[in-house]
C-alpha cells in the first residue's frame, strides 16, 4: 500500500463543513483541535463583507476563532480531518 501524497488534494464541500472537526498538524499556542463553527454566506447582511468561501474555525481549548478559506483545509501538511 502506497502512503498518500502530502500535497494530494482531498474532496471537500463547503456545504458539509459546519461542525466538522479538524486537527492542526503543527499546533500553535496549544491549539491543536478545531471545530468549524460557521460557514459564511455573503447573501446574509452580516456576512456581505466576507467572501463566500470562508469559514470560522474555533479552537476547542482556547475558544479562539479564526477566519480562513475552507479550501485551506485541503492542505494535508497543515490540517487533518477529525481529532487525532
CA angle 11-14-20, nearest 5°?
A: 85
The pTM of the full predicted model, rounded to 2 decimals, is 0.79
Q: What is the pLDDT of residues 23-43, one digit of tens each?
A: 999 999 999 999 999 988 767
Q: Are 59 and 33 in contact (CB under 8 A)?
A: yes
The percent of residues above 90 in pLDDT, for the chain, comes to 58
pLDDT in tens, 61-80: 999 999 999 889 999 999 99
Residue 21 scores a pLDDT above 80: yes
Q: What is the DSSP letter of 2?
A: P
Amino acid at each position: 500500500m502506497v502512503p498518500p501524497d502530502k500535497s494530494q488534494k482531498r474532496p471537500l464541500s463547503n456545504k458539509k463543513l459546519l461542525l466538522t472537526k479538524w486537527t492542526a498538524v503543527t499546533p500553535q499556542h496549544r491549539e491543536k483541535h478545531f471545530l468549524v463553527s460557521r460557514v459564511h454566506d455573503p447573501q446574509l447582511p452580516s456576512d456581505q463583507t466576507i467572501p463566500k468561501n470562508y469559514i470560522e474555525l474555533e479552537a476547542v481549548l482556547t475558544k479562539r476563532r479564526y477566519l480562513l478559506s475552507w479550501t485551506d483545509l485541503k492542505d494535508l501538511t497543515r490540517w487533518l480531518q477529525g481529532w487525532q
